[in-house]
Structure 1
């Protein structure tokens, strides 16, 4: 093989390698961009039987306007899993509230990416404690009783809800795993500095 042939061969090989690298980079970029477009809540394909997906069925229920604290927001789902809300959110740093909280503030916490665990008043203390153990010391989590709830336990993230008859249901952990923070409409906004009051607060 003469020098000219060797040079042509080397240039051809380098060209093929460069094209392969470029294709690889473009492919990775395409995958990341499309995964991002799917939304953070699509980060896992874990199916949860019984899940209510309001983002698909009722996106019109998930408005995000701040409403004056003096206004009691009416929600089409109980407990609320999204919609217009009060300006100050409920603190959601693993807080276990012993009494019902302001729903408009709770919904604001969901917007930040929190999972709100609610239970029907009168639930057995052992079941309440089983739920509380899943919440305590976990950021983007909070829990409270909810008057008029139709099931023993309900879990809410922004646009998603799971209503269950038992605090022992394995789907509770699946819901938390899938939607805590990933369902946020304001990624990176913290759960700290919110209110801990059962009454709606005005922003400071």
Structure 2
């Protein structure tokens, strides 16, 4: 059974109501409802402020995720990420890096860049560097390094090229190793 309100110990609001200043300012029992409503409003305001502060952290987290995708060389996925989060110019750049010309054309069309979208569609159809992973004109592929001539240290040393042991007199070479014994035993 629930005890009647008159038998419960007075709470902080009731104790506040006993103060003479409060009794003058707030006349009647409806002031308790108003005070509780004000407390709820202040509480909601605090929650909203905290959520806004945390939202800034999520933006930093999204930027970090995009940088991670680029660092891993996953440009097409980074482009998709930018499209999802509304950064369409960055998405076009990522799709160019990935060679995903059809996706770049769709995004350029969305931005109203019809000439650029046409160029991307031509590349996708084979009118330009269209293979996936082909470098964009802004970042050409590095040229292949010329083959280096064989270095003297890369060949095996001959028997007379071996250095002398530390105890041997200067100017002498190490003797070649003796041949292995024949399979049948010593001669």
Q: What TM-score do you get using the length of structure 2 for normalisation?
A: 0.26
Larger relative contact order (CA 8 Å, sep ≥ 6): 1
Q: What TM-score do you get using the length of structure 1 for normalisation?
A: 0.24
The structure where strand makes up a greater share of residues is 1
The structure where helix makes up a greater share of residues is 2
The structure with the larger Rg is 2
